[in-house]
Structure 1
Amino acid sequence: MTFSQSLRKEVDSIWEASFNHPFVKKLGEGTLDLASFRYYVLQDSYYLSHFAKKLGITKEEKDNFIPAPTAYAYTSHMYRAAYEGHLGDIIAAILPCYWLYYEIGEHLKECQPEEPIYNEWISAYGSDWFRTLVEEQITRLDTIAEKVTEADRKRMKQHFIISSQYEYSFWEMAYTLEKWPVDTDVKDVIG
């Protein structure tokens, strides 16, 4: 079993929870509230600038954007992996996003939601092009894992599992439109 296969097996219950999260299920059914999808795109705007344009997210919305607690924590986790580790740590921290999205795209491929942007999202993440991108990163991670110490692999595994947890939390954040518990002008500090 390759390193990536063992990681995928380790997070199976987390990914199954993501497949069954109301955000993902309603996206596939076409019943997801567009406000939740807009919020998701705003929070994930770095990766999803194309969808931000399609949804007509305005400059004002971007200027007033404040990352939700989950988005901020997830990004901080990735920065920590990059700061404290090496390329294997970075890939292990980022790969769950790509890989899980591809698997969700595959799970939802047969869905035909009426909302065109949901179909586009499903098509993008379930595409052959995206699968190739994921497979390249999996291969890169496995190659690195063969050359590093057991302690490095353990740390990479930890990053992968934590990122998988954050992926689930990201669906929940978007579905519930998560905000900071106390309203402040925090964008000047963390935006």
Structure 2
Amino acid sequence: MGIIERLHEIGRPLVAEQLAHPTVAGIARGDLDERAFRYWLEQDHLYLLDYARAFSRLAWQAPDGHLADLVGIAHSTLTEELELHRSLSGEFGADLTTRDKGPACEAYTSWILDAAADYRDGLAAVYPCMWGYNQLGIELARTRPEEPRYRRWVDTYADPGFTELTEKYGRMLEEADPDPERAERFFLEGMRHEVAFWDTPYT
């Protein structure tokens, strides 16, 4: 079994845990309290800024064959993914100028930036966000919430282009040939941060 297949195997129970989380379940039904999604938008905006910094830190260490891809993902995060947040922020009244990180966001961003100091560890650490959201998007797209704002969020992460980007990143992680035990440890910790990130004061 290759490293990516192994990471997916150990990550699926944590995807299932996210799908059962009240915040994600509310998105799936389309009836999530708007305050909860507003809080998530504000926190995820702060997270994505540091997520892009983590990719930039990895790009600085990258072999030539990975450099363009990592810079491209950082750019895509700052443009396409954050554009989704900006477009939704007005509809939910989110304040994307806030600098106040909640406990889950602070813990996750601190950890992921530290992990990115090592190339192979960092590649495994950032993978849960891409793969996990792609899995959530694909699963939630099976029923697609009727609420159009939540449906737009689901469609973004279920989009074939995002799936293709996630698969491309997985191949890059395999090419880096990380130590399997370390990769599993960093991947699992990242997945646990992903689960915790859905907590809001409104669920």
TM category (shorter chain) comes to 0.7 to 0.9
**Radius of gyration: which is bigger?**
1
Separation in structure 2 between the aligned mates of residue 64 and residue 140 of structure 1, nearest angstrom = 34
Q: Does 1:171 align with 2:203?
A: no
TM-score, with structure 1 as normaliser:
0.80
User: What is the letter of the counterpart of residue 68 of structure 1?
Assistant: G
Cα distance, 1:24–1:4 mapped onto 2, change above 3 Å: same
Cα distance, 1:155–1:57 mapped onto 2, change above 3 Å: farther
* Aligned residue in 1 for 2:165: 133
Cα distance, 1:160–1:60 mapped onto 2, change above 3 Å: closer
* Aligned residue in 1 for 2:181: 154
User: What is the letter of the counterpart of residue 52 of structure 1?
Assistant: H
Q: Does 1:103 align with 2:130?
A: no
In structure 2, the residue corresponding to 1:28 is in which secondary structure? helix
What displacement does 1:57 show?
A: 7.8
User: What is the letter of the counterpart of residue 163 of structure 1?
Assistant: G
On the 8 A contact 2:112/2:126 being kept in 1, the answer is yes
What displacement does 1:12 show?
A: 2.6
Separation in structure 2 between the aligned mates of residue 168 and residue 95 of structure 1, nearest angstrom = 14
Q: Does 1:92 align with 2:124?
A: yes
What displacement does 1:60 show?
A: 9.4
Runs (5+) with no aligned partner, structure 1: 179-191
Q: Does 1:17 align with 2:17?
A: yes
Identity %: 28
User: What is the letter of the counterpart of residue 111 of structure 2?
Assistant: H
Separation in structure 1 between the aligned mates of residue 5 and residue 102 of structure 2, nearest angstrom = 31
* Aligned residue in 1 for 2:5: 5
Separation in structure 2 between the aligned mates of residue 25 and residue 57 of structure 1, nearest angstrom = 20
Separation in structure 2 between the aligned mates of residue 52 and residue 19 of structure 1, nearest angstrom = 21
Q: What number of residue pairs does the alignment pair up? A: 169
* Aligned residue in 2 for 1:42: 42
In structure 2, the residue corresponding to 1:31 is in which secondary structure? coil
Q: Does 1:81 align with 2:108?
A: no
* Aligned residue in 1 for 2:96: 62
Q: Which has the higher helix share?
A: 2
On the 8 A contact 2:104/2:193 being kept in 1, the answer is yes
Deviations 1:72-106 (Å, cap 9, x if unpaired)?
110111111112x11x2222111111111111111
* Aligned residue in 1 for 2:84: 51
Deviations 1:133-185 (Å, cap 9, x if unpaired)?
1000111111112xx5xxx332222110000000000112x3x359xxxxxxx
What displacement does 1:127 show?
A: 0.8
Deviations 1:24-83 (Å, cap 9, x if unpaired)?
111011011111111111111135422332221899933443010110110111111112
TM-score, with structure 2 as normaliser:
0.75
In structure 2, the residue corresponding to 1:71 is in which secondary structure? helix
In structure 1, the residue corresponding to 2:106 is in which secondary structure? helix
User: What is the letter of the counterpart of residue 8 of structure 2?
Assistant: R
CA RMSD of aligned residues (A): 2.3
Separation in structure 2 between the aligned mates of residue 51 and residue 41 of structure 1, nearest angstrom = 10
